[in-house]
A and B are shown apart, each in its own frame.
Chain A
Amino acid sequence: MLSLNRIPVREQNPDLRKHNFEEVCFGYNEEEAVKEAARCLNCKKPMCVSGCPVSIDIPRFIKHVKNSEFEKAAQVIAESSSLPGVCGRVCPQESQCEGKCILGKKGEAVAIGKLERFVADWSREHNIDLSKKSPFNGKTVAVIGSGPSGLSCAGDLAKMGYGVTVYEDLHEIGGVLVYGIPEFRLPKEKVVKPEIDNLKKLGVKIETNIIIGKTITVDDLFDKEGFSAIFIGSGAGSPRFMNITGENLNGVFSANEFLTRVNLMKAYKKEYDTPVHVGKKVAVIGGGNVAIDAARTAIRLGSEAFLVYRRSKDELPARAEEVHHAEEEGLNFRLLSNPIEIISDDKFWVKGLKCLKMELGEPDESGRRRPVPIKDSEFIIDVDSVIISIGTSPNPLITSSTKGLEKNSKGCIVTDGEDGRTSRKGIFAGGDAVTGAATVILAMSAGRKAAKAIDEYIQNN
C-alpha cells in the first residue's frame, strides 16, 4: 500500500537550535532513505524531472537508492549536478522537482531534495570519487568568482583537461555559500569545503584576495597571463537600500553586512575578532531566503526578530521549509506591512520602524497581487536594529573596468543564449552576474553550460 506521507526527516528541536548554529536538519539515514525512495512510482513520464532546472534523472537515482545502490545513485546525479550536497539542502524543491511530483496531487511529494542530500552525504562519507580527469591539454582558462557558477565551471573544465585558475576577491572560497547562507542551513566544513577540496584534487588553482578589475584587469588576464578564455561568475553581491529616512542610523545594516560578519568573519564565535551588533529586537525587511536567514541568525544571537514584508504569507519568496523552520524558532511575521521610516533616538540609534499597513490589489507584472497602502494605517514596530534585505545587484567592478563588455540597465552582464557568450570574444559569464540574484542550482547549471561552450570555443580557435 502506497503511503501518502513522506518519511519524516529528523531535525534539531527548535528550542535547542535557536541557541546554536548547528545544522537544523539531520537528513535521512540509510534505512529512512530506502523507505522514502520506495514511495517513488518510477513514472514513465516523470514530471519531477521537468521541474528540475538541470533535469537530474530523478526516478533513476531514486530507484538505486531504493535498491541500496548508493554509489550508482551518486553517479546518476553527477551526470547533471556537481553540487548535490548543496542543492539537496537549499533548492526551492516545493516549486521545482517536488512541486511537479505526481504524488503531490493526492498526498506528499517524494522528498527528492532530502534523498539527493542523502546520496551526496553518503558518497562524501564513503569517499566516492566521481571525477574522471583528462590529461592537461595545454590550454588555460581563468574563472572569476568562486560561487556555485564559478566552481562548477572550473570543475568541468578541469575534468576536460584545461588548466584552470579561479580568482576570488574575498579571502575565502565559495561565494554566497560561505558568506551568505548560514552554517545552520549549509555546514561549511562538512559540505562546502569538500566540494572545494575536490576542485583542488582536480588540479584547479585557486587565488584568493584578487579583485578582478582592480588587482588585475580582465584584459590583463588575456594579454599578460595568457588565458585562452575567461568565465565571469562574479554574482550579484551589492546590497540595495530603500532610500527611506533613517537608513544610515546606527543599528541599520544590510543583510549582506550582517550575514558576512556572522558567516564569513565568524562573529558568532567568541575567538573571532569581527564584531556583530544585533539589538534586543530587530526588524528584518524583506521576504526572501536572505531575509529569513538574517532573521534566524539574529534569533540565534539572542534577539527577538520581526520579519516585515509588504505582501502576504503566500507570496513570501523564501523556501517553504525555511519559513516553517523560522516560525518554529519564534520569528514574528509582520506581513502586509511596508516600512516608510526608521526612527532615531537622541543618540542616533534606531528606536523604531514606522510602517504602513497594506492590502493586496490587482496582480502586477510578476503575476503576484500588488500591495497597496491603506490610508492612515501608520504604525510603529518597537525595535533597536533594522536589517535591510530587499535585494542585491551585480557589483560594477568588472563591467566598469572591461571595455566592450555589454551590461543591461540593471548592471547584469548580457549573454547571448544559453551558453554564456558575452559581447566580448572569449569571455563567458553565468550565474547571478547575468540573471541577477537567483538560485544555486541555476548558477551551477550556467557554469556547466559555459564550460561546454568554452571548450567548443577553444577547440575552434
Chain B
Amino acid sequence: MYKILTKKNIAPETFYMEIEAPKVAKSAKPGHFIMVKADEQAERIPLTVCDVDTKKGSVTIIFKAVGASTELLAGFDEGDSYLDFAGPLGNETELLSEDLEDLKTKKIMFIAGGIGAAPVHPQIKWLYENGIKPDVILGARSKDNLILLSEIEKMADNFYTVTDDGSYGRKALVTEVLEDLIVKEKKHYDLVITIGPLLMMKFVCLVTKKHDVKTIVSLNTLMVCGMGMCGACRATINNETKFTCVDGPEFDGHQVDFDEILNRQSIYKDEEKEKLYQFAHSEQEFKNRRK
C-alpha cells in the first residue's frame, strides 16, 4: 500500500499529491513516470514523477481529473493509500545524459500547456540546480488553470505566460509566442522541450521544424503495463513502431506521427464514457471505493 501523505487541490480538478513510495523515490530521475492503480478494480494509470523527497521517501504526482480513473484517484484523501504504485518507468530525460558544460552554452526553451507544467517542472528544476536557467512559455485555458506558476517563474530566465481567455498573461497560443520570439525578436534557441496536450505539441513541432530547432516531446499515449509487455502505447517515430513506455516517453518531436497518436487516444472513447456514466450514477459505490 502506498500512503497519501499530502493532498492539495491546486487548480480546478487538478491535484497535487505526495505519495509514500521510498523505493521509487530513491531511483526516480526527471523524465520518469509511475503506474498507479488506486484499488483492486482500478485501471493502471501513467503519471509523471514531478518531484521526490528521498528523506521522506515520497514521490510527488500532479494530475488532472479528466475521466473515470483520474476521478477515482482524486477521490482518495490524505492518510488513504493507493493499492499499487510502480516505478520509476520510462527513460530519464535526455538532458541528463548531456555534457553539463555543453548544456550551459545552449539556449533552451520549455513550452508547457495545462497539466504539462507538472512534467516539465522536474527538468527545469534539475537545470536550475545545475546553474542553467531556461526560457519558459507556460500556457493554460485560464488563470485558474496555470499551475506551478511561481515555482517555475523563479527558475526561468525569460518567462512568458499565455491563457486562452486572456485572464492572465497574453491572450494567445503558446505557438504564437514562440513564433514572435523567433521571428520578431530574432531569438535563437538550440533546443525546445514541450509537454502538454498532443495537439499543442504537434503545432509547436510544426513551428520549430520551420525554424529548424531541435524539439523534444513527451508522449502521453494510452498505456496498460508501462513496462514493455503489451504494446498498447505504440507510436510511429520516424516510420518505425516504438513503445512509448520503454523507448520513450521522450522523442524527437519532428519524427513523431501525432495524428496516429491522436487517433489512438480515442480507441476506448465509448467505454470510457460508459465508465464515467456508471460512476456518476452509482455515487455510493464510487464513494465506497475511495478509501
Contacts and interface: CB of A to CB of B under 8 A. Distances in A.
| A and B: interacting chains | yes
B127 interface: no
A273 B229 contact: no
Contacts of B235: 248
Given A243-B241, A256-B230, A211 B86 contact: yes
Contact of B231 (A256, A276, A396): A256
Interface stretch (B39-47, B131-139, B197-205): B39-47
Nearest to B261: A248
A98 interface: no
Contact of A274 (B23, B224, B234, B241): B224
Interface string A353-397: 000000000000000000000000000000000000000000111
Nearest to B274: A275
B27 A273 contact: no
A280 interface: no
B10 interface: no
Interface in B61-100: 68-69, 72, 83-89
A257 B266 contact: no
Contacts of B268: 275, 277
Contact of A171 (B27, B37, B72, B231): B37
A277 B271 contact: yes
B230 A239 contact: yes
Given A250-B264, A275-B268, A260 B225 contact: yes
A387 to B, nearest CB: 11
Given A171-B84, A238-B228, A257-B224, A273 B241 contact: no
A274 B27 CA distance: 28
Contacts of A247: 241
Given A273-B72, A275-B272, A248 B236 contact: yes
Contacts of A397: 227-228, 246
B86 A169 contact: yes
B260 interface: yes
Interface residues of B, number: 40
Nearest to B278: A270
B232 interface: yes
B-side interface mostly:
mixed
Interface in B24-49: 24, 27, 37, 41-44
B234 to A, nearest CB: 6
Contacts of A29: none
Contacts, number: 108
A248 to B, nearest CB: 6
B264 A256 contact: no
Contact of A241 (B24, B225, B241, B246): B241
Interface string A232-260: 00000111010100011011011011001
Interface in B248-262: 260
B275 interface: yes
Interface string B210-236: 000000000000001101111110111
A215 B72 contact: no
Nearest to A168: B86
A26 interface: no
A198 interface: no
B42 A251 contact: no
Given A271-B41, A273-B42, A274-B224, A241 B231 contact: yes
Contacts of B275: 273, 275
B263 interface: yes
A-side interface mostly:
loop
A243 B242 CA distance: 11
Interface in A133-187: 169-171
A208 interface: yes
A248 B235 CA distance: 7
A248 B232 contact: no
A459 B69 CA distance: 50
B89 A214 contact: yes
A210 interface: yes
Contacts of A192: none
A457 interface: no
A211 B89 contact: yes
A402 interface: no
A396 B37 CA distance: 24
A433 to B, nearest CB: 13
Contact of A260 (B69, B86, B87, B229): B229
Given A171-B84, A273-B275, A256 B42 contact: no
A12 interface: no
B143 to A, nearest CB: 33
13 contacts: A170-B225, A210-B86, A211-B87, A211-B227, A215-B27, A215-B88, A241-B231, A273-B69, A273-B72, A274-B44, A277-B267, A277-B271, A397-B228
Given A215-B87, A216-B23, A248-B234, 18 more contacts: A171-B84, A209-B84, A214-B87, A215-B23, A241-B234, A248-B235, A250-B263, A250-B266, A253-B232, A256-B231, A266-B41, A271-B41, A272-B41, A273-B42, A273-B68, A273-B72, A395-B227, A395-B228
Smallest CB-CB A-B distances: 10 pairs:
A275-B271, A209-B86, A237-B229, A257-B230, A254-B231, A348-B263, A171-B84, A275-B268, A273-B43, A274-B43
